[in-house]
Amino acid sequence: MPVHGVDLGFSPCTGLLIANNGEHDNMSTQDVGRWDLVVRSTHWLVAIGFVTNRFIDEPGDTVHVWIGWSIAALVVLRLLWGLLPASGPARLNQFFPWPKAILAHLQDLRARKPHTELGHNALAGAIIWCFWLGMLGMAGTGWAIDNTDIEIMGELHETLANIITVLVVLHLLALVVMSWWTRFNYLKTMKPEFHFKKAKPE
């Protein structure tokens, strides 16, 4: 399927448009594709939930608790999606931060290798796993605060919140720096879609 001089094909495995002509220079987001609906939805809902619980609502109130459990449920959903029905780069084994993969990624960064396919690099994968484990840890310590007498749980809950906040800042900085360094807009691969129907003229 030619698009602006580039022959694109549809991948039934990932549901993405991919370039068929082997030319990867100046690869656009359209060529690479976007994350599937489950990945994008869980990403943005978890982000909104974390920001709300961290900076807006009151710790310990009903809204805070329910948002916390909702975040944990979304993380579990994403993990199950990556283990079972997901395909391609959304599968968990595609971005596990093995040392060999991290080394290869660092070499690509040094060479300023352009982005050519949808997926997390090894360093991003490491941060994502820390996000998921931290979110689940916060849900567990939150439950322990309300249901046990273990004093350290409150301090641990706050520590996890601080660590995740730092990771969020690093994530945003990396998004900006990597988009500039690799000349690729990473944000567009996670951009949500909105479809509005135009009103029919009477």
Q: Which amino acid, one-letter code, is at 60?
A: G
| 34, 90 Cβ separation under 8 angstroms | no
Mean pLDDT of 3-18: 35
Count the helices and strands in the chain (H runs, E runs).
6, 3
Domain spans of the chain, in order of start: 35-188
Looking at per-residue confidence, does 150 or 201 come out higher? 150
- Rounded CA-CA distance 18/11 in Å is 7
- Rounded CA-CA distance 164/185 in Å is 24
Q: How many CB atoms within 10 Å of residue 78?
A: 23
User: Does position 19 have pLDDT exceeding 60, yes or no?
Assistant: no
- Rounded CA-CA distance 166/23 in Å is 37
CA distances from 115 to 8, 91, 121, 180, 182 (A): 16, 19, 10, 11, 6
pTM: 0.72
Separation of first and last alpha carbons in the chain = 37
- Rounded CA-CA distance 132/154 in Å is 19
CATH for 35-188 is: 1.20.950.20
Return the axis-axis angle of helices 122-147 and 152-181, rounded to nearest 10°.
160
- Rounded CA-CA distance 13/119 in Å is 14
pLDDT digits over 148-193, tens only?
A: 999 999 999 999 999 999 999 998 898 888 778 777 777 777 766 5
Averaged pLDDT score across all residues of the chain: 77
Specify the pairing of strand 2-3 against strand 6-11: antiparallel
pLDDT band at 115 (very low <50, low <70, confident <90, very high): low
pLDDT digits over 63-103, tens only?
A: 999 999 999 999 999 999 988 877 777 888 777 777 887 88
Within 84-121, where are the H helices?
99-110
Q: What is the model's pLDDT at position 72?
A: 97
